[in-house]
Chains A and B, each alone.
Chain A
């Protein structure tokens, strides 16, 4: 009873308030104020928000998304003549070849502690000492077999690491210049150099190699690396081909990539029986490989001058994760062994090894190196040009394994170590010259190169080293009569100078390409938070404003609704902090949408109205849920995404011919229904001339879309229109009509004097705007388009009606807007998208166009991706204000509400995006940062900017009139 009384009282108060505002002079003042405020008074907060967000995201992205430009240049044999260094004279390329053949065994995710004896660590773990063959070789022949701790650079994922290993560079998340979709390496790399210089490469194992190097291998035996649960296919394939290949003569470089340890880690973790079994299996294989190579290493045999390298591409954590930059992930092992009798040892100052006795009391040593140095060192040993973009330096200890071949040529007088030093100094000279050439070329051609100070600092270090080389060392090397002490000290000085230069370059490149700029990221987040505060302030201000105008009492449902909306928003935002929820984002959004539907149902039961609509909404969200699940299952196996209509309808419709037929016909029928519905809508009295023609145009485009589909499918062969016209010209006509409609709408309203009241006018404008966009969006979405469009219209109608549940004349409150935004998110997932780059439907970008033009195709792809989730919802938002069962309240009121609603909608998007940004910052060293978080970040940021931009456009379009409604004016005059 009490409640009833209160409600009645409040209603009375409100109605009296309305009467007051309509009659007294205070309302006239409000109207005058509204007129004075004009258009910009309403929309300046929206534009400010857009600018703030742009600034914040630019700053954050500059700190977070490390970018690097791939240069298309390649090194050539003849290049070296332009360097100041000695090129080897007897016909070979840059450096004198030290080994002829290379056996490269890559063990994926090889932890460093798999290889070295357990005595190096505080306590012995079950997975240690399982590869004794490597440490035995290193301890029995310390001069020709060495173990290295190889430090990889993050991101430590296989693809990125293989790229880094072969190019000698630092691959980043965004390697600009990536071809559209295919991962093949365009940069110069040592595999490419091998092929260019007539070496033959054989590959077996992980098929990532054949993706990266599609045309380089003489023979290849790729095995799918996709199935993580399969521990054996790749390894057994490798084993089958590895040993027989060792006896063959038709290759110079053999690559065998084993995946078992990586997969065992992912599935079972490091401390598990399958892992230990895998390591033991590898041990026996490596034993046999070494045995075969050893047996054939005699003079004149096929492996006389072969180098064996066993290495990991990255490490892994105890859970088997990798991708980040923790010590466990970046530390991997490299074992190198040459089968010649070594003649020299590395001079002590370049020997970084540390030794320890293993369990059997044998002395085992290991040294450290950067994985970055691998490409250039191997190139130097094989005598091929160094990859153009390599920034590593030749590792002295690894290079020393090929040491003996130099002595034959050097004069006999020199000591071994001197000969080694001379050779090494010259190799470093070429190395430095090549790195300097790359740095210069990079900063000349890349938009975001190095800073000028850094460049000049590097140049001065290089000049110093260079001067020393040309003025003293060169003469020293040419004139061999010097006493060895002076020459050794001069050489040492020279080598140190080059080291200094190369280290400086590497440091600079690392800081530029692998380290996040935390300051920039922090500033970005700060500005983002400021913009959030600004938005909240704007929302509160407008709320207060029209609460002040119409003294409405705080209703319990409105308060509850706001709290629920904040709760839903909060839970959605916080869910982005975990990778699992990002993976299942569609389901989570749908869960929340259904929850909001149930809350509405409860509300409608309690008020006793709109029962059917709220049940219908729940059923709709259930349908959405099934559509999202089909999309998610497609995400799990993304294979043929370049196919044109890779939509979920086709997915369902495989198999039965009836289904096939239905999949063709149902979209057409739904589209005709949409057209009929639009036609009916135009017959409404309030559609004036610009709007009416726009909508008629849309109906025409719908018919064209149907014609396009009919010509496109091979089911209706005898169609009248030739295929080429149907395929290319009809879509272009549709785009043209849509563009024309948009122009018509924008300029039409400048000349049209509306004699309707503001609210009706708003409905007409919104409808025509939506219909103008809809044709393009539906066309791009393919056959699922009409169905999703239909669902969004139905859902939108329901949400609009729910605004009226309360029956009060307060505007749509946050709950409806939250529901609207959740529904938009669900539509994104329903239409077969997800937040990853393979979730983009590239086929949509080529509807109507055969050739690729970046800007045009990007626009089409954007419309396809965000059509249902941004463009239509944002332009449709005024419906929430306009369709209300109440009297016309005047322009100022409607526009205040509209701007409040747009700000709230923007705020919801901004809050979720802020959480994504925070999450990316927190998880920046996470295993999946490049696989999951970064794509999500890119999508969300794009989403935010696009939402803001469309809100601004919509605000220009909707807040048009500079005058008040005639009706309202007369009221004021009275």
Chain B
């Protein structure tokens, strides 16, 4: 749902001389994804043992913890695979990633409101924290790698035509998180009266599940990409 937005509103369309996308080996892709999963797991572990809270009891704080734990991992890892590494220093890619956080959060926030997230004042921190987490999953990796190239964003998010292994690693998890969140919203109206049906708990669970599934799937795509490259080169 929000994926198109995330692509849509990053301003400044600047054509850049595109080199061949930086390739990423299968093992590297595996390490990147594994670290992302570990970051998530660490966030949950920390929330559970150190702060003794969880998503159901303190959704706002837990979501914030997840974002905080995941953000450096994502930025630092994905910045390594930036496009045009010669013209763009590592630090600059990190800076782009940090800039991507508020932009992505705003887009996700607006998307959630359009789809019916509650707007009462008590829900405001929850929605903001959820949007932060979403932006870490969706826009931050893309802004680290792609920078502000409108054409690239459009190709990956609106047309879903990733090209090369690193773009699979950006595109699929972002789509997975958004689609997961969309499905996560469905149990909310049911009258089961469970605490996790509150906004944004079930949506967050959906996001995380979708993200994890897409991480695994993206590994498969990277593998396929790698194979085809090999065949071509042979």
A606 touches B154 (CB 8 A): yes
* A581 vs B1: C-alpha distance when bound (angstroms): 20
> Does A169 interact with chain B (Cβ within 8 Å)?
no
Cα separation A581 to B188 with both chains bound (whole Å): 10
Contacts of B7 in A (CB 8 A): 602, 605
Distance from B197 Cβ to chain A, minimum over Cβ atoms (Å): 10
Instruction: Verify A599–B4 contact, CB threshold 8 A.
Output: yes
CB of B164, distance to nearest CB on chain A (Å): 15
20 residue pairs from A and B, CB less than 8 Å apart: A579-B191, A580-B189, A580-B191, A581-B190, A587-B116, A591-B115, A591-B116, A591-B185, A595-B1, A595-B115, A598-B2, A598-B5, A598-B111, A602-B3, A602-B7, A605-B7, A619-B114, A621-B114, A622-B114, A625-B116
Q: Mark B1-40, 1 if CB is under 8 A from A, else 0.
A: 1111101100000000000000000000000000000000
Interface residues in B134-174 by Cβ distance below 8 A to A read 154, 157-159, 161
A578-B190, A588-B189 given; A605·B154 CB < 8 A: yes
Q: In this complex, what residue of B is CB-closest to A620?
A: B114
> What CA separation (Å) do A469 and B114 show in the bound complex?
76
Q: Would you call A606 and B158 a contact (CB within 8 A)?
A: yes
Q: Could you tell me if A584 and B114 are in contact, using CB atoms closer than 8 angstroms? A: no
Q: A590 at interface (Cβ–Cβ under 8 A)?
A: yes
| Complex contact B116–A583 (CB within 8 A) | no
Look across to chain A and name the residue whose beta carbon is closest to the beta carbon of B112.
Answer: A594
Residues of the A chain whose Cβ atoms lie less than 8 Å from the Cβ of B124: none
Give CA–CA (A260, B134) in the complex, Å: 46
B88 touches A (CB below 8 Å): no
B113 interface residue, CB < 8 Å from A? yes
A579 shortest CB reach to chain B, Å: 7
Closest to B2 in A: A598
**B 57-114 contacts with A by CB, 8 A:** 111, 113-114
Q: Are A605 and B114 interface neighbours, CB within 8 A?
A: no
How many angstroms from the CA of A603 to the CA of B4 in the assembled complex?
A: 8
- The CA-CA distance from A930 to B74 in the complex, in Å, is 54
Q: Check A622/B113 contact, CB under 8 A, given A580-B191, A584-B189, A605-B158.
A: yes
How far is A584 from B185 in the complex, measured between Cα atoms in Å? 13
Q: From residue B107, how far is it (CB to closest CB) to chain A in Å?
A: 11
Closest to A629 in B: B116
The answer to whether residues A625 and B114 also contact, given A601-B5, A605-B4 and a CB cut-off of 8 A, is yes
B221 close to A (CB within 8 Å): no
B182 within 8 A of A: yes
Given contacts A580-B191, A581-B189, A583-B189, contact A602 B158 (CB under 8 A): yes
CB distance from A619 to the nearest CB of B (A): 8
- Residues from chain B with Cβ under 8 Å of A588 in the complex: 189
**Interchain nearest-CB distance for B22 vs A (Å):** 21
Chain A neighbourhood of B158, CB < 8 A: 602-603, 605-606
Shortest Cβ distance from residue B232 to the other chain A in the assembled complex, whole angstroms: 15
> Would you call A191 an interface residue if the criterion is a C-beta within 8 Å of the partner chain's C-beta atoms?
no
Decide if B116 touches A590 in the complex (CB within 8 Å): yes
Interface of chain B, helix or strand or loop or mixed?
helix
* With A605-B4, A605-B7, A605-B158: A587-B114 Cβ-Cβ less than 8 Å: no
Query: Is A618 part of the binding interface, using a Cβ–Cβ cutoff of 8 Å?
Result: yes
- Range, interface on chain B: 20 to 34
| Closest chain A CB from B207 CB (angstroms) | 16
- Give the nearest-CB partner of A605 in chain B: B158
Question: Are A618 and B190 closer than 8 Å at their CB atoms?
Answer: no
Q: Interface 1/0s, chain A 571-584, versus B by CB < 8 A?
A: 00000001111011
Cα-based distance from A588 to B115 in the complex (angstroms): 9
> Chain A residues near B1 (CB, 8 Å)?
594-595, 598
A323 to B231, CA, bound (A): 68
Given the interface contacts A590-B116, A594-B114, does A602 sit within 8 Å of B189 by beta carbon? no
Query: Which residues does chain B contribute within 8 Å of A315, judged by CB atoms?
Result: none
CB closest chain-A residue, reference B185: A591
- Cα distance A603–B113 when bound, in Å? 21
Among B2, B116, B154, B182, residue most surrounded by chain A Cβ atoms (within 10 Å): B116
Residues of chain A lying within 8 A (CB to CB) of residue B116 = 587, 590-591, 594, 625
Other 13 A-B pairs with CB < 8 A, given A595-B1, A602-B8, A625-B116: A3-B161, A580-B191, A581-B189, A584-B189, A594-B114, A594-B115, A595-B115, A598-B1, A599-B4, A602-B157, A606-B159, A618-B114, A622-B113
Interface string of A608-630 (1 = CB under 8 A from B): 10010001001101100100000
A598 touches B190 (CB 8 A): no
Whose C-beta in chain A lies nearest to the C-beta of B8?
A: A605
Q: Which of the listed residues B5, B113, B189, B191 has the most CB atoms from chain A within 10 Å of its own CB? A: B189
Is B114 a contact partner of A597 (Cβ separation < 8 A)?
A: yes
Distance (Å) between the CB of B166 and the closest chain A CB? 20
Name the B residues within 8 Å of A591 (CB-CB). Answer: 115-116, 185
Residues in A whose Cβ lies below 8 Å from that of B5? 598, 601
Q: What are the 4 A-B residue pairs with the smallest beta carbon separation, nearest first?
A: A602-B4, A606-B158, A605-B158, A584-B189
Find the B residue at minimum CB distance from A582: B189
Chain B residue contacts of A578, Cβ below 8 A: 190
Assembly CA distance A601 to B154 (angstroms): 12
Contacts of A607-657 to chain B: CB distance below 8 A = 608, 611, 615, 618-619, 621-622, 625
In angstroms, Cα B157 to Cα A590, docked, is 24
A622 cross-chain contacts in B, Cβ below 8 A = 113-114
Tell me the complex Cα distance, A599–B1, Å: 7
Which residues of A have CB within 8 Å of B185?
A: 591
Chain A residues closer than 8 Å to B3, beta-carbon distance: 602
Shortest C-beta distance, B206 to chain A (Å), equals 14
A618 to B1, CA, bound (A): 12
* Closest chain B residue, CB of each to CB of A617: B114
Bound-state CA distance A392–B1 (Å) is: 60
A587 and B8 form a contact (CB under 8 A):
no
A618 to chain B, nearest CB (A): 5
Mark B121-136 against chain A: 1 for CB-CB distance below 8 A, else 0.
0000000000000000
Those of A546-604 within 8 Å (CB) of chain B: 578-581, 583-584, 587-588, 590-591, 594-595, 597-599, 601-603
Q: B20 CB to closest chain A CB, in angstroms? A: 15
The docked-state distance in angstroms from the alpha carbon of A605 to that of B160 is: 12
Q: Which residues does chain A contribute within 8 Å of B4, judged by CB atoms?
A: 598-599, 601-602, 605
- Chain B CB count within 10 A is highest, among A579, A611, A625, for A625
B170 shortest CB reach to chain A, Å: 16
Min CB distance B217 to A, Å, is: 19
Complex Cα distance A581/B191, Å? 9
What residues on A are CB-neighbors of B114 within 8 Å? 594, 597-598, 618-619, 621-622, 625
For the complex formed, measure the closest distance between the CB of B186 and the CB atoms of chain A, giving whole angstroms.
Answer: 8
B-side contacts of A621, CB under 8 Å: 114
Q: How far is the CA of A603 from the CA of B159 in the complex (A)?
A: 8
Q: Which residue of chain B is the closest to A607 with respect to CB atoms?
A: B158
Most buried by B among A580, A601, A602: A602
A581 CA to B185 CA, complexed, in Å: 12
In the assembled complex, the Cα of A588 lies from the Cα of B187 at a distance in Å of 11
Name the residue of chain A whose CB is nearest to the CB of B117. A625
Instruction: Please give, as numbers and ranges, the residues of chain A lying within 8 Å of B154 by CB-CB distance.
Output: 605-606, 608
Report the nearest A residue to B187, measured CB to CB. Answer: A580
Which residue on A lies nearest to B190, using beta carbons? A580
A565 to B191, CA, bound (A): 28
B115 touching A601, Cβ below 8 Å: no
Contacts of A3 in B (CB 8 A): 161
* Residues of chain B within 8 A of A590, CB atoms compared: 116
Query: Can you name the residue of chain A whose Cβ is closest to the Cβ of B113?
Result: A622
In the assembled complex, the Cα of A16 lies from the Cα of B182 at a distance in Å of 43
Q: Which residues of A contact B115 (CB under 8 A)?
A: 591, 594-595, 598
Chain A residue with minimal CB distance to B159? A606
In whole Å, how far is B66's beta carbon from the nearest beta carbon of chain A? Answer: 24
**Contact residues in A for B2 (Cβ distance below 8 Å):** 598
The answer for the CA separation of A619 and B190 in the assembled complex, in Å, is 27
Q: Which residues of A contact B159 (CB under 8 A)?
A: 606
A91 vs B161: C-alpha distance in the bound complex, in angstroms? 96
Residues in A with CB closer than 8 Å to B189 are 580-581, 583-584, 587-588
Chain B residues lying within 8 Å of A602, measured Cβ to Cβ, are 3-4, 7-8, 157-158
